[in-house]
Structure 1
Amino acid sequence: MTEARITHIGGPTTLIEAAGWRLLTDPTFDPPGRRYSFGWGTSSRKTSGPALKTSELPPLDAVLLTHDHHADNLDTAGRALLPSADVVLTTPSGAVRLGGTAHGLAPWDTWRLESPGRPAIEVTATPARHGPPLSRPLVGEVTGFALRWEGQRHGALWVTGDTVLYDGVREVAQRVDVGTVLLHLGGVRFPLTGPLRYTMTAAPALELCRLLRPRTVLPVHYEGWSHFQEGRRAVEAALAAADADLSARFTWLPAGTPLDVTV
């Protein structure tokens, strides 16, 4: 039985230990209290700190960075951590900004993590749109990541990235057999832009999961920042009204405590 050990550190940040590899998603390790500008008059305050310190992390083989230009996905301490990883996989524009070991992947591009004595992990960039139609020039590039390696029994491990539900994300359900999904939620909204949402709320998230039919759904990116407008309670209420089979697929990761997930 193949397992991945996943530790939720806070916000979108997770440590994925699988097939002998250690991968970190969207590093955010600053303490709470600071307010960060997201551009165009939008900002957010970090309301809770990470469950682990950077000093408590194991050596990292790779960082999977869905985007580099918003502090709730890469804050100051997280940025300082990047050089310690062998490779940083991110968007093409993010790789240009970061330099160093960063490599940019356009949607459906693939990168192979390879090392003697370990099965290779195939990392495929997946489409994401961090807001409503036509918002990409304002909010910038975002990507998701689908991870495949030899021995998986239930399909790929997919990190959605910060995205709304749109045709590009639905395409993942058509092209990738997803067994486990790290589902970015939060219903991000800002006073300046009114009702517009920049990540999924519960309803579209459940619609996506009905398309995917994954074995395991692991929600992340729903707590710890003031611009997250929909938390766990709202998602659980939506799940209570959904069919029992779908609800049973959701597992809430305990902060800072590793969880072994059958993949």
Structure 2
Amino acid sequence: MSEEITPDRHRFAIGTVGGPTAVIDYGGLRFVTDPTFDPPGDYGAYRKTAGPAVSPAALGRVDAVLLSHDLHWDNFDREGRVFARSAPLIVTGRQSAERLGASAIGLGDFEVHGIAEVRVHVVPAQHGPLDGERDDAGNINTEVHGFVLESAGLPTVYVSGDNAGIGPVKAIGAAFPGIDVAVLHAGAARVPGKNAGRALTLTSARAADVAALLDVGQVVAVHHEGWSVYSENFADLNREFAEAGIRSRLVPTKPGRWALRH
């Protein structure tokens, strides 16, 4: 059985907290993605149905938050915002960084920020269908990014953020042909009032396509349980990965525990 996530660090480990939130130990650093630490509750168009499996205090010192976007509660809730502001660094997109202030570094697609021996690349994402509604800056839904982590002697890790499209994945695959592990935001998130209820994040079938397209050896799926916006769950992912012939690449997860640990 996998170990519980604690303040103890590993050279390489990935665990889930619930919703979109993952903990990534990488090259001596601890990263937390899209922090959501609220208890269950209502958020207007959707609700949180399960609290986090790990408290912020149980994570110990965190070196950086990787924030795909800041405007949606299911990726950045109230306690998640408090947590992020207590971290020494938030790596995110430029628009999010402008709203978040001094501790946030805003990067555009394929820009990189170094932290010790780790290179954090910001990569593109598409938060909805290709013909989806665009905001004033031309983003589908809102500005969203993913991330690629690189360091000598460690697996290259891709974190998708709330991406729903194949186009960004093709560009990422061309820029990083050796991705080893993908943390995919799946769950086919849907909000009735947005884009005719079409998926705003990866469907299970498309998540399998992304894994095959990038030829990643291991996939840790997040963003498929804990919020009412998710229309698909891990059973759907399991079925679609099996249908694609890549079931062995989908890593079983249990919130609060390490899914991968080297």
CA contact (8 A) 2:252 2:259 kept: no
The offset of 1:250, in angstroms, is 0.8
Contact 1:165–1:208 (CA<8 Å) still a contact in 2?
no
Instruction: Report deviation, 1:61.
Output: 0.6
Distance (whole Å) between structure 2 residues aligned to residue 258 and residue 234 of structure 1 = 22
How far residue 192 of structure 1 moved from its aligned partner, in angstroms, is 2.4
The residue that corresponds to 2:31 in the other structure is 23
**Preserved contact between residue 110 and residue 122 of structure 2 (Cα < 8 Å):** yes
For 1:135, the aligned partner's letter is E
Overall identity of the aligned pairs, in %: 35
| One-letter amino acid matched to 2:249 | R
Local SS of the residue matching 1:181: strand
- The corresponding residue for 2:189 is 188
Larger strand proportion, structure 1 or 2? 1
User: Could you say which residue in structure 2 is the equivalent of 1:200?
Assistant: 202
Specify the alignment match of 1:178 in structure 2: 179
- TM-score under structure 2 length normalisation: 0.89
1:12 aligns with 2:14: no
Per-residue deviation at 1:195? 4.0
Q: Are 2:42 and 1:35 aligned?
A: yes
- Is 1:35–1:46's contact at 8 Å kept on the other side of the alignment? yes
Counterpart code for 1:187: A
Other structure's SS at 1:187 match: coil
Number of equivalent positions: 246
Gaps of 5+ in 2: 1-9
Deviation at 1:20, TM superposition (A): 0.9
Distance 1:206 1:259 in 2: 18
1:180 and 1:240 mapped to 2: Cα distance?
18
Query: Aligned-pair distance for 1:8?
Result: 0.5
**2:257 matched residue in structure 1:** 257
Q: Render the CA deviation track for 1:170-203: whole Å, top value 9, x for unaligned.
A: 2111221210000110101122243411001011
Q: CA deviation at 1:168?
A: 1.8
Equivalent position to 2:120, from 109, 119, 123: 123
TM-score, structure 1 as length reference: 0.89
- What is the CA–CA distance in structure 2 between the aligned matches of 1:12 and 1:238, rounded to whole Å? 20
Give the whole-Å Cα distance in 2 for the aligned partners of 1:53 and 1:215.
30
Distance 1:260 1:196, change over 3 A: closer
The correspondence of residues 44-193 of structure 1 with structure 2, limited to 5 A, is: 44-114=46-116, 120-133=117-130, 134-137=132-135, 139-152=141-154, 155-176=155-176, 177-193=178-194
* Counterpart residue identity of residue 165, structure 1: G
Distance 1:3 1:60, change over 3 A: closer
CA distance in 1 between partners of 2:31 and 2:24 (Å)? 5
User: After superposition, what is the alpha-carbon deviation per residue over 1:96-131, rounded to whole angstroms, capped at 9, x for unaligned?
Assistant: 0000210111110100002xxxxx100011110101
Residue 73 of structure 1 deviates from its aligned partner by 0.8
Is residue 8–residue 253 contact of structure 1 (8 Å, CA) maintained in 2? yes
Q: Distance in 1 between the 2:86 and 2:230 partners?
A: 29
Q: Which residue of 2 aligns with 1:40?
A: none
Cα deviation for residue 3 of structure 1 reads 5.3
